[in-house]
Structure formats: structure tokens, C-alpha cells
Structure 1
Amino acid sequence: MAPRYAASAIADTAGYERTLARVSTLLAPEHAALEIGCGTGASALRLASRCGRLLATDSSPAMIAMARQRWRAQPSAQLSFAVADAQAALQENAGGYHRVLAFNVLHLVDDLDAVLSAAARALAPGGLLISKTPCVREMNLLVARIAVPIARMLGAAPPVQVFDEAQLLAGMRATGLKPIIVERHGTRRKDFRAFVVARRA
């Protein structure tokens, strides 16, 4: 799926730019940051200059290969890429990150509670989890209850966690993360992607 993903256009470019601008205000040169589920590295390449160090990870070797190819075209000393699933990446340097970035990935992990717990442990005290997540339960019922399960059964889509914003926030609070920013950045129709920033207590 990596080549198809890399070639796909951003559905809401204005909303994406709004998110990147918002994230940029939460990063600083003294920050060590980790991104999980970075895909082909598009967001990491845009945000790396705002950090002291950014390690961008994805479980797909094909995605990381494409990310590194992009990096060679516009190298950044602050940015590096690695193949790792979300939990492995988060457990590698417990307490060592000021920021953990998770864009369009929390609905795809096998165990959301475990990943949120690992994110809390990966953050230094006061560190931020910065996320943007499709809340699948808020989508059209046909999509959430019929289309997604059928696509999973046919192998045409990865496993998808079905939750809404309230459930996502509750999951964060249960793992010691305090949501401090909850926004929607979409500019087209109903926006079901929740932008949530949560602080480690």
C-alpha cells in the first residue's frame, strides 16, 4: 500500500496546513520529539526544523524507505527515520521526549490504551502528546459499521479502532495524559479528525 499512499492527494490541504501551523507553535529548538506512524515522512520533513531532534518512525519498511528518499532531496540535520511499530518506538527511550507526535495513526494501532500508556511513559514530565486522529465512530454509520468491517474482512484496509472524541479523551486521561487542547482543523464539510494535545502530568 505504500506507493499508493505516497501518491494519494491530501483531502483537505487547508486543514492540513492549519494543523502544521498549530503544531509548529508547540515545538521549540530545545525539544526532543518522536513521531509514531510517520508514513512517508511528509509532516516530519515540514516540522523537523522546529525541533532540536525529531525521530520519525513507522512500522512499514516501504514507508520509511520513501521517507528517507524524500529526506535526501531536502536533508535536515534534526531529522532521522527508523522502522518501528508505535509501542516499540515509544518504549525505546522512556521519559526522553518532550513531544510525541501521532498524526492519523491512533485509530490504526492494535491496542489504543497500551499505546497511550506507552506515550505517557515516553514523555518527560510536562511533555506533550500532539495528535490528530480520525474519530471513526463520528463518521457516517455506513462507513463505521459496514464499510470498515467489510474492508478489513477483504484485506483492503488495516484494522481500525472505532471511537469518538469523548472516548479518545477518556482513554488519554486514564493513562495519565491531561487533554489541554481539543480542536478541529478541517475546512470541508464535517470534520471527524480531532486534534488533541495532552500533557503528561
Structure 2
Amino acid sequence: MYQSAKFWDKVADKYAAAPIRNEAAYNATLDRVRAVLNASDTVLELGCGTGTTAIALAPDVSHIIATDVSEAMLAKGRDKARDQHVANIDFVQADAKDAPEGPFDAVLAFNLLHLIEDMDSALADIAKRTKPGGVFVSKTFCMPERRNMIWWFIQLGLPVMQAIGKAPYFARLSITDLDAAITRAGFTIVDTQMAPGKDPRRTVFARRTE
């Protein structure tokens, strides 16, 4: 995954400046995540980007370790946390394999799994870092079932952008692929939701099998 760090370092400024596309839906997802967290929890977030989600959830837990492969993204997260006086987050450069071992009460991976080439290996590493009975929450892009514009872009346009260094690795996952991989890793899926409208991202709430 570190091979994509240069790509994310280059786009960090643009990424940080981009507004949340559907803020109401984002906040609704955060509320659902808060419902499965406790004030005493220690949390690991993988692929934290510039720390927006970690900072939003920090008041609801004891401590968060927010990781990303991009040091440029992490630097922006540290700045935002400092500016917002959030002190219970550590920003650490890491991927799923070499992230702090924990184990953690909760592991979060938003907009990440479809960017990992060996997802099964990453999910195995995530399971090792989740306490028995602990929660794993992910939001993942899944291929639209119908061949709409998004589908055609991923099939035809994305390979061109990847070839010129303008896009990272991007897995063509189906909903069935995603759910099966999470289950194989030793999690029991307890709830799911699709993003509203034409947004094809799937949020999965799962617990590590005790």
C-alpha cells in the first residue's frame, strides 16, 4: 500500500480543500458509528486521510490512533486537530499490516478497502487488531449493479488515468465480494447501509467473532 503514498501526498492539498459531497449523509453515518462506540473505547482508524472523521469521533471515545500511508495527509490532520483543540488522537504513518497492534475496541476503514490490492490480507490484519467482540466499520465503493456512467468510467477511463499516475489502484468489488471478504476474515456482519442516491458506497458494521 505504501506504493500509493506518493499519489496521496501529491493530492493532499486538493483533498483537504474539497468539501464533503453530502454532509447530511456523512453526519448520519457518523451518528450510526457513534451508536456502536463507548466513551472508554480505544479506536484505530485506517486510511484516515486528513483526519476529518477521527476528529469528529474523538469526543465520543477515549483515544484514537489515526493512520494513513500519506505523511502529507497526516500533517494536515495534525494541524486540524491542533486547531480544534483535540488532544486524544495520535496520527501515525502506517497501513493495515504495520499499524499499531492494539487490540482495539473498534477499527474503522472509510473509503479504503477498494484501494487495497490484497484486501483479504488487509482484513486479516484488521481482524488481528480488533478485540474479540469488537466492532469493525467500513465504507467501501462497490461496483454499481447497472452499467451507468460510473461503471463505464471505472471500466474504460480509470485504467488510462492510472497509467499516467492520475489515479490509484481501484478494486472492482461487488457487494457480494465485499461482504464475503469481511466474513472470511472472522467478522459477523450485523448491519449494512448503502449511501443515498447514486453513491455506490456500502457501509458495513461487523463484529469480530469471539
TM-score range, shorter chain: over 0.9
Match of 1:85, as an amino acid? D
Measure the CA separation in 2 of the matches of 1:25 and 1:112.
27
Measure the CA separation in 2 of the matches of 1:56 and 1:80.
6
Map of 1:196 onto structure 2 = 204
Measure the CA separation in 2 of the matches of 1:55 and 1:101.
10
Match of 2:48, as an amino acid? C
Task: Please say if residues 71 and 93 of structure 2, whose CA atoms lie closer than 8 Å, have aligned partners that are also in contact.
Answer: yes
Match 1:8 to one of 11, 18, 31: 18
Match of 1:197, as an amino acid? F
Secondary structure of the corresponding residue to residue 35 of structure 1: strand
Map of 1:83 onto structure 2 = 93
1:19 pairs with 2:26: no
**1:77-104 deviations in Å (ceiling 9; x for gaps):** 3211111123211xx315x101000011
Measure the CA separation in 1 of the matches of 2:116 and 2:98.
12
Measure the CA separation in 2 of the matches of 1:121 and 1:25.
23
Measure the CA separation in 1 of the matches of 2:143 and 2:91.
28
Task: Please say if residues 102 and 131 of structure 1, whose CA atoms lie closer than 8 Å, have aligned partners that are also in contact.
Answer: yes
Alignment CA distance shift 1:185-1:18 (3 Å): farther
Map of 1:117 onto structure 2 = 124
Measure the CA separation in 2 of the matches of 1:141 and 1:2.
26
Q: CA deviation at 1:76?
A: 2.1
| Structure 2 spans left out of the alignment, 5+ residues | 1-10
Measure the CA separation in 1 of the matches of 2:96 and 2:161.
23
For residues 1-201 of structure 1, what are the structure 2 equivalents within 5 Å?
A: 1-89=11-99, 92-94=100-102, 96-136=103-143, 138=145, 140-186=150-196, 189-201=197-209
Alignment CA distance shift 1:185-1:141 (3 Å): closer
Measure the CA separation in 2 of the matches of 1:36 and 1:75.
22
Match of 1:166, as an amino acid? T
| Structure 1 spans left out of the alignment, 5+ residues | none
Measure the CA separation in 2 of the matches of 1:3 and 1:27.
31
Secondary structure of the corresponding residue to residue 92 of structure 2: strand
Match of 1:121, as an amino acid? K
Measure the CA separation in 1 of the matches of 2:203 and 2:161.
26
* Paired positions, count: 196
Match of 1:113, as an amino acid? D
Match of 1:133, as an amino acid? T
Task: Please say if residues 35 and 102 of structure 1, whose CA atoms lie closer than 8 Å, have aligned partners that are also in contact.
Answer: yes
Q: CA deviation at 1:137?
A: 5.2
Task: Please say if residues 143 and 175 of structure 2, whose CA atoms lie closer than 8 Å, have aligned partners that are also in contact.
Answer: no
Measure the CA separation in 2 of the matches of 1:54 and 1:150.
37
